[in-house]
Amino acid sequence: MDDHLDLKIGSAMVLVVILLLVIVHMLEYHHDTTTWNNGYHTSDGGKWEYQQMVGHRYSTYYAYKCSECGKIVEFLDYRQEVEE
């Protein structure tokens, strides 16, 4: 009987971890989309300009710099720059 309880607890823990990973991914995607703002920095209206690709241990980020204030942000995916 204890084996079935252990299996249920283990399965529940796996589901919780998967659910947390999905939630974190969704939050990061939302943050990236909001920050990108169609290629414009919301604070000063400057364009996000591609700077470099940054490789981390398990992922790659793409760095962009604001043309007005110089703030640098990193996104999980490459973003098309705005054509003027």
- pLDDT for position 46: 93
Give the pLDDT mean for 18-32: 91
The model's confidence at residue 32, banded by pLDDT at 50, 70 and 90, is confident
pLDDT one-digit tens code per residue, 36-73: 888 899 999 999 999 999 887 888 889 999 999 999 99
How many residues does this entry show for the chain?
Answer: 84
**Which pLDDT value is given to residue 69?**
96
Strands (E), 1-84: 48-55, 60-66, 72-75
Please name the residues in contact with 5: beta carbons below 8 A apart, sequence gap of 6 or more: none
Of 28, 75, 40, residue with least CA distance to 56: 75
Share of the chain above pLDDT 90, in %: 45
